[in-house]
Structure 1
Amino acid sequence: MNLLFYLLFTVFVGVLSGEVLDLGDLEQFSPRTDVKAPSLSGTTVWLSGKEGNGYDVSLSAETQSKIHGILEACGEVDDKCYQEVRQLLRNADLQIDGELERRGFVQFLSKTFKKVGSVFSFIAGVLISNWSMKQEQPTGMFVPHEIASQASKLETTGVVVSADGTAVATITSTPDPTVLQGSQTPSVTPVTEPEGESSSGDLVAFLDEDLASRIDEVMHRSQDCDDGRAFDRGDKTRRKRATGGFGKAICAAEAAAVMSQRGGPFNDLLLINPAHLSFDFAETAGAVARAANVASDFVRAYAPMLDISPILAEQLGNLLFALAVNTLIENRPVNQNNRIEASLIRTEAPTASPTSCPDPESTPLLCGFGKETDDCNVKLPETLDDEPTCKDSEHQGCECNAPSESIENIASDEEQKSMIIIADLFESIGPPNSPKCEHDKLSEIPSNVFYSWENKVSSRFCEQWDESTKLEMIVDASGEDRKPQFEESRSLQRRTPPPDPSNYSKYDFRLRFTPAEEKKKCAMDCNKAYLTLATACQNNGAAGVLMAKSGKVDVDCGTFDYAIEEKVVYSPKEPPMPDPATPAKTPLKVFPRFCFAADAFGDHGDIQPSMVRDYSSYPCYRSSEWPIKQDDKSTFRRWATMTNDVPYQFNIYWKHGCVSEGPDEAYSTDPFNSGKPDYKLCYDTMRDNYRKCNNGGVGGNIQIGCLVYEFKAQTVQ
């Protein structure tokens, strides 16, 4: 009879509310005897678990006592009782098992619960059910993975929680607010004038006094974890310190980050504005920087659970690690004013705006499957280049993974022949407004001399351009109309001059616009046309260093073209010097970095520094096994992807026409041919094309010997 009533009741409330969280047999939540939590003090909730197995939860004695008081005072178990238990859990210290590899654990946690608030909601649901059914309050619990995956139901309105065939209570979801709890919003400010212990160039982190005190307390009791021990074991360069290695600072920073959930103990840390001041740890800081990367990687993996952007996660990780170093290594307790030494850090303005979308790699969203696993309803892409996105829920507008559908059609022999003919035709025509460049004949002109924010050879030409009139000019490297002149003889020995227009006075730039016979609307204006040529005609579209000697682009209303000619003027008393029969060999050294113009690749989304950091390693992976060879494009390395509608392209290749003073092949991990491959050299060189170019993050390239390392925010052409 009881089972029949339960089934009828479930159908009835299902019609009214649409959601039922059935916990089933409460015995399945009994704590596992083979899992031992550490000694817990204060109001603490401890979590552990393994993917596919489930989660272990332990409550400190103080937490148990407080929950027991709430449940006894409730009388009847209802929504109010549930909310009070949940609030207590949310305000408790949340600890993750220090014996786990925490980054992997929080990714597993995120896949199951989505948000950290759902963890507390589910635990509260089990606790009130146990109290309602048995008048018991367990010291902890084991949560099977299959049941835990239903926790997101508690984030909807009017959910009926049931257990052992009986409805326990109807729960109303309440959002976790992010409002200031203390007296001061946390902030990080640069020191401009020396004062006290602070020097110019330092940073000061300002915190509320109570928040600072609690962070310090948590960090001092959270110094031991697997992540920290692993770092200290692998830190071969560490020196002996009376205060120990940086592993304990990693553990402390991770522990504080875990408690930074909305409405939780360190809620106010989420109110730091990452757009105000961004900083990370300088590579010259050695072990400090490497340890900081471990802590930041953990916080970025935990970001979806906190519902914060990757940018905010990175800054939160850096701040907490800096505070941990202060209190645990330098013995400077966390307080209201916290100095961060200039020698350890570098500051920069972020290039990306915050987004609340989960990381699509670590926490992919599912949509369109029509199952309980869906995170949202799907909005289909409008173009082939777009991705499916969430149409609703808190993830509205975020990229999601939708099911694929395969449709096969078999073409006849005649249809296949027609396809080949059409494909050849399109290949010969090229895409609309596609520049045509003389890539096999390179000039000595860097593309940022041809077109950049500082210099445009087309500036005067474009001032006079009219779409209905033919125009032709010969200009110098500064864009000025070339006047006939007599010059003394100069050495014609090859050199690599800096990108200064005055160093290219011996070159003529022939610029021309020819109107179309039939009047049409221009696809682009003069400036955009020469920007397009500068981007497309630079060293086969990849090096971004030297321009092809000529190029043209059809803009519908006419054609823009250019030609670069070396104007060698010598004294009548001296005969012209012939070009060397053998090109000069390129030394094995680092050449100046080239940065693309900010608008070189048109409109795109914000380039995420965390994506560049992760992706920069891909073209360097296993590169010590495959050399890059002169004039052999099959050996060049390219890795490209599109993430959140932003293109990321990484290239390592042999510069066209370059003859090395070393062998005719080189490894990207050993461009100096030292015989000592260095993966970090490849990774840092690639990543610095983003970090050391002040151009909105669109990238640049640098040449070492004959190898060119390049990052650019452009789709593969």
Structure 2
Amino acid sequence: MTTTTTSSASCATGKPYSCNNCKPTSAEVKEAKATGVVNWICSEGDSKGCICDPEVKDAITIYDVDFNQAVLQAMEKLSVTPDRPIIDCSGEASDVPSKFVVEKTSSNFCNEVMKDLSKELVDAGTAYDINGIKVPRLKMNKAMKQIVQSKRSLSARSSTERSERYRDYRFYFSYTPKSGECIVPKETLCRNAYAHLVKSSCGTNHASAGDRMFYAASIDVGCGMFKWQVEKPKEPLPMPTLGRTQCHDKHKHPDVQGSLQDGSSKFGCKKYGHVKMKAGDKAIPWQAYYTWAYGMSTHMWYKVSWIEGCETGVSEQSVEFPVEGNKGINCASMMRANYKGCNNGGAGGYIDAGCLRYDFWADGR
């Protein structure tokens, strides 16, 4: 707010009062001359209404380019290098004991890292097993299928845990160099980093169940960032079982003779019973031939095929006995059931046993 001063006999002449403790405001002075002095006026106290001196003091700042740059570099270095490792594992813990990480699981990866600490080492296509053996992705896919077929239990734990119990898991490691100072001994940087990570809550966390690795964890040791990622095995696929008969729609076709259907079922199943089918194999078809008054008929068809996209706990199935250990479930009995189990005028049906489909139908020609 701007005010206009008036002469007052109570205001001092000569040097103005000090502005201390009188809440000064800027003042407009009539017939002011350019003096370079800022005029203020007291708003309270004994000197209220009088011009006061704010007692401005000059300050000189010395700016040194080299010194300023050194300060900036020091501050940048402080922001880059933490005083202790920065650890993160925000997900959940796996079933894998952390005690194998330093001595086994990460050992070969660390050997690669220590060859050149200036080189980033991140390969999402390469995994390691619990013993630190490198497993390329193509081999890993094959190994995972073998794991599923082995039907080993992954959940059971013994009082003395061995690394072999967790060989089905896959482990991914990565290293990214950074410009900061190392806050763990650099001579064995990789090993020290993972040792710190194991001793943190990412690896030391379950006293009663045993310390477990988190599925994902990372540690920043100033001069580098180390990570691990745990991939658990796929759930075991179900073993082959017998499904229910699915009947075809009733339609017009030549008569189906029960005895001929039975005999042709046994004939084809005996002929191809030795075959073991797997995913991608061609279907096995056969026909029932018989002669009647109007010539030869081929209207009864049979087919055994692997269901497209189907996966089961075994890599292949026997055509004759598709459910291992149960010879009561056999090719001929299922083909016969496709006829007798359907009330559709002999049009037939199909039954699935695991990934094999046993189909019988009557052609309308």
Give the TM-score of the pair, scaled to structure 2: 0.35
Q: Higher Cα Rg: structure 1 or 2?
A: 2
When you count helix as a share of all residues, which structure comes out higher? 1
Give the TM-score of the pair, scaled to structure 1: 0.18
Query: Which fold has the larger relative contact order, with Cα–Cα distance below 8 Å and residues 6 or more apart in sequence?
Result: 2
